[in-house]
Amino acid sequence: MPSKQNALFLFLFFVSIVCACVQAQPLNRNSAKALTPVAQHTYFFVGGSYGGDPAKPLMNGQMFVEKLTPVKRRHPYPILLIHGAAQTATNWMGTPDGREGWAQFFSAQGYDVYMVDQPARGRSAWQEGIDGKLSTFDAKTEESLFSVPEQYMLWPQAKFHTQWPGNGPKHGKIGDPIFDQFYSSQVQFVASETETETLIQHAAAALLDRIGPAIVLTHSQSGTFGWLIADVRPKLVKAIVAIEPSGPPLQNEIPFGTDKARVWGVTDIPITYDPPITDPSQLQVEQQDKPDKPDLARCWSQKTPAHSLVNLRVHHERSHGGIRLRTNQIQACTASITPIPFLRASGWFLSEPAIGMTAFRVR
């Protein structure tokens, strides 16, 4: 097997190990060993344009990029880490109880690591009068979704959640120092998904044009971004690793309501299909009569003959208790937008590991 394919499989193995350890091991802020220091820690900006009042132009749409260069580079492709809603690149730099983050882990394995603040968020400035309305998560919502969902039970699998660090009577809630540290990191974000996806697609394409081929790792809200980035730069995205990606196709599911969403199947803005479509109404879809298993949602999928997503390859990880597990669509239904027989015929590898579905393709 070519060395670059070996490198991709090795990276996907690393991701599986990281996710499995998070699932299986109790968290202890003193248990992590110090990782290899980085050789260089730098930053720059990509994308953006001047807009607003011509007499007083402002830059908008630019994206802050932070880079960790390893002491010894051992892999041909860098990793691009894209955070989820209300987060910034600090999401990857450490945990709220003081442990090192994914960025340091992958740098220690010899990867160049790039992290971003999504356009119009954090260090990628939001411009009043140009960028759209902002939204945020209140602290109680964060408790119910992320830190102690097992106490709110907004979806059946929340009872399996065990991974919030620390202990004590306020564990995972307002007043818990670890929760307070986490909530302090949350920031406002652009409310419109279509605006957000458009901004990140343009900026991430500019980043890949600058740094070359990369592995794109997305999380939660940024799950849709990976598909869109690969769609416009298919030769530069060598793999997509989607950690509990946003979804499911075509419709939200609890705890986010049941409104129609991602009208282009897996995204809110246009994405390339074969045969081509010019309007999302051209996707002929149907919903399952019943879910694959109890406590899962019913998939929406395309009717046959289906339109294929031609520019995607993905490795998908999810947790047993995470907010995305209820949506069967994140596991099986996302694959059903381009049916599994097509994925296999197009060079995809599909499996069912202990913590979720894997579907990825390498060139």
Spatial separation of the C-alpha atoms in residues 45 and 91, rounded to whole Å: 18
What are the structure tokens assigned to 16, written together?
């599986």
**Which residues participate in catalysis according to the annotation?**
220
The token pair at 169 is: 């009577």
Could you tell me which residues are beta bridge partners of residue 358? 351
Residue in the block written with tokens 């947790």? 319
Task: Write the burial class of residue 193 (CB in 10 Å: 0-12 exposed, 13-18 middle, 19+ buried).
Answer: middle
Cβ atoms of residues 214 and 208 within 8 Å:
yes
User: Which stretches of the chain are assigned E, i.e. beta strand?
Assistant: 40-51, 58-69, 79-82, 113-117, 134-135, 189-190, 214-219, 237-243, 273-274, 285-287, 300-302, 308-309, 315-317, 349-351, 358-360
- Cα torsion 322, 324, 329, 334 to 10°: value is -100
SS3 23: helix
DSSP E strands: which ranges in 119-250? 134-135, 189-190, 214-219, 237-243
Phi/psi at 82 (5° precision): -120, 120
Query: Structure tokens of 129?
Result: 């009068």
